[in-house]
């Protein structure tokens, strides 16, 4: 079986299909500290892409409450129960990925959910790990906690869905790394559903074919961010491209946040698929739980986040989240503003570090009226 370098694991890894990396890799950053679980992203994706017959149970975008929530039910726990605990040494994974656990040439280790697992997409919403006592206050890390985890397909570097499909119906686009299912080739064997560690391929019982998040590719081709990104109320999301043909660029906001500063971390990278949704971990949650999800970089990431006030370039990059419906490919700090440019080289975002405050007088000379709400 060919070997590939997996930069998230710091080592080579067995992978069924070899191929060159895409010209650039679509990627997303989600700041879990800002998500309010309003589900606007979920509804935006659902109404646009999956409102048809056979898609009633399908949410390409979902937002679940950790630690108890999950859609489909137990998507992550069921795989973790079948796997040895992830082991890291000096940033390198020493345990086995899903491509290696069962030996060379075998399908990736996985499980296929049953239909009932899709019946409660928001099970466990807002459930906290414990009850606070009267008068108790929280400091840095909270003794009882929960947080919201927004999830879409990771458009992985080494997709398990691609590796598992006996029909070669699932493929990764060479131009941007978006992973798609060819509906004509798919025969509904659901090997991709079983293999994806994130359970982000779904079976449509009416079409008798598998389907998944299409990365909003018609929008990406126009330089626009995905619907779930544009509609995000909390502005927790950034959508763009990682550089694949050289060193990470300091002026590419995704390269900078993910690869240069390592503030945003991949989800369950120990499975080996090279996921491309990167999360800024919630700073109030204990490290033990977070390291299972986001790997060994959690503590350093939290430290960076807490120090943002004195880290102007990193803070500036974060200010550009949700600042434009155009994909940003370049950014810089100009004085007291963060500025972003799109794929066409046009300036499309300019965000001040401090929002200007305008004081309006109680009495308005021009209209000879008093303002009663001057806030
Ligand atoms: S998240 Fe799952 S469906 Fe998406 S590319 Fe990775 S393995 Fe495939
Ligand atoms: S990228 Fe597009 S298709 Fe994928 S979850 Fe977001 S809105 Fe849905
Ligand atoms: S729209 Fe944004 S803030 Fe609301 S649930 Fe989705 S990711 Fe979270």
- 28 CB under 6 A from ligand 2? no
Tell me if 152 sits within 8 A of 28, measured CB to CB.
Answer: yes
| Residue nearest (by alpha carbon) to ligand 2 atom 1 | 215
For Cα atoms 145, 231, 291, give the angle at the middle one, nearest 5 degrees. 30
Q: Is the pLDDT of residue 374 over 70?
A: no
Q: How far apart are CA 69 and CA 77, in angstroms?
A: 11
Residue 126, number of CB atoms within 10 A of its CB: 11
Hey, what long-range contacts does 42-46 have (CB within 8 A, 24 or more apart)?
42/228, 44/227, 44/228, 44/230, 44/231, 45/152, 45/213, 45/227, 45/228
Q: 335: how many CB neighbours lie within 10 A of its CB?
A: 7
Q: Kindly provide the residue ranges of all beta strands, DSSP E only, lying in the chain, ordered along the sequence.
A: 3-6, 11-14, 24-31, 62-66, 88-89, 92-93, 147-151, 170-172, 179-181, 201-204, 209-212, 237-243, 265-266, 277-280, 328-334, 337-342, 347-352, 363-364, 369-370
Q: Which atom of ligand 2 is nearest to the CA of 152?
A: 5
Residue of minimum CA distance from atom 2 in ligand 2: 216
- Give the model's pLDDT for residue 105: 81
pTM for this entry: 0.95
Ligand number with the minimum distance to the CA of 235: 3
Q: What is the pLDDT of residues 253-300, one digit of tens each?
A: 999 999 999 999 999 999 999 999 999 999 999 999 999 999 999 999
Using the mean position of ligand 2's atoms as its centre, give its distance from the Cα of residue 151 in Å: 10
| CATH topology for the 3-300 domain | Alpha-Beta Plaits (3.30.70)
Looking at all shown ligands, the one closest to residue 267's CA atom is 1
Nearest atom (ligand 3) to Cα of 61 = 6
Mutate to test the pocket of ligand 2, among 173, 227, 325 (most ligand atoms within 8 A of CB): 227
Average pLDDT of the segment spanning 313-317: 98
- The pLDDT of residue 2 is 81
Q: Rounded to an integer, what distance in angstroms lies between the CA atom of residue 8 and that of residue 271?
A: 10
Q: What is the mean pLDDT of residues 23-46?
A: 98
Domain boundaries along the sequence of the chain: 3-300
Which ligand ends up closest to the CA of 110?
Answer: 1
Residues with C-beta less than 6 Å from any ligand 1 atom = 153-156, 159-161, 179, 196, 198, 200-201, 212, 273
Cis omega (within 30 of 0) for bond into 67: yes
Q: Which of 62, 72, 68 is nearest to 39 (CA)?
A: 62
Indicate the helix (H) or strand (E) that contains 78.
Answer: helix 77-82
On the question of pLDDT at 360 being above 70, the answer is: yes
Quick one: what percent of the chain has pLDDT higher than 90?
91
| Average pLDDT across the chain, whole number | 96
Over residues 191-223, the pLDDT tens digits come to: 999 999 999 999 999 999 999 999 999 999 999
Substitution candidate for ligand 1 out of 273, 277, 278 with most atoms within 8 A of CB: 273
218 phi and psi angles, rounded to 5 deg: -65, -30
**Phi, psi of 4, rounded to the nearest 5 degrees:** -135, 150
Task: Please determine, for residue 362, whether its predicted confidence score (pLDDT) is greater than 90.
Answer: no
CA distance 78 to 13: 23
pLDDT of residue 375: 53
pLDDT over threshold 90, residue 373: no
* Distance of CA 112 from the midpoint of ligand 1 (Å): 14
Give the model's pLDDT for residue 19. 79
Structure tokens of 205?
């019982």
């Amino acid at each position: 079986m060919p070997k590939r370098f997996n930069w998230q694991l710091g080592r080579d890894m067995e992978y069924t299909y070899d191929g060159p990396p895409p010209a650039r890799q679509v990627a997303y950053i989600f700041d879990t500290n800002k998500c309010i679980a309003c589900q606007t992203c979920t509804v935006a994706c659902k109404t646009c892409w999956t409102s048809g017959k056979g898609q009633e149970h399908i949410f390409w975008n979902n937002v679940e409450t950790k630690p108890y929530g999950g859609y489909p039910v137990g998507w992550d726990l069921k795989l973790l129960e079948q796997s040895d605990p992830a082991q890291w040494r000096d940033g390198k994974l020493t345990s086995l990925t899903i491509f290696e656990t069962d030996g060379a040439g075998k399908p990736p280790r996985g499980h296929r959910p049953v239909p009932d697992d899709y019946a409660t997409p928001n099970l466990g919403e807002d459930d906290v790990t414990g009850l606070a006592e009267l008068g108790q206050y929280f400091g840095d890390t909270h003794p009882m906690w929960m947080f919201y985890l927004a999830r879409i397909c990771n458009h992985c570097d080494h997709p398990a869905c691609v590796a598992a499909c006996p029909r070669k119906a699932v493929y990764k686009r060479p131009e941007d790394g978006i992973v798609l299912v060819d509906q004509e080739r798919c025969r509904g064997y659901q090997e991709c559903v079983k293999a994806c560690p994130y359970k982000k391929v779904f079976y449509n019982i009416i079409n008798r074919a598998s389907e998944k998040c299409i990365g909003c590719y018609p929008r990406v081709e126009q330089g626009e961010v995905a619907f779930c990104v544009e509609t995000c109320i909390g502005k927790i999301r950034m959508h763009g491209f990682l550089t694949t043909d050289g060193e990470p660029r300091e002026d590419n906001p995704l390269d900078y946040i993910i690869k240069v500063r390592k503030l945003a971390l991949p989800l369950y990278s120990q499975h080996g698929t090279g996921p491309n949704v990167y999360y800024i971990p919630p700073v109030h949650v204990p490290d033990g739980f977070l390291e299972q999800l986001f790997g060994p970089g959690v503590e350093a990431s939290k430290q960076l986040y807490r120090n943002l006030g004195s880290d102007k370039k990193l803070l500036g990059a974060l200010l550009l989240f949700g600042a434009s419906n155009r994909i940003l490919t370049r950014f810089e700090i100009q004085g007291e503003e963060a500025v972003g440019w799109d794929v066409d080289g046009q300036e499309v975002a300019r965000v001040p570090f401090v929002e200007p405050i305008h004081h309006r007088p109680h009495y308005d000379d021009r209209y000879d009226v008093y303002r009663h709400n001057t806030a």
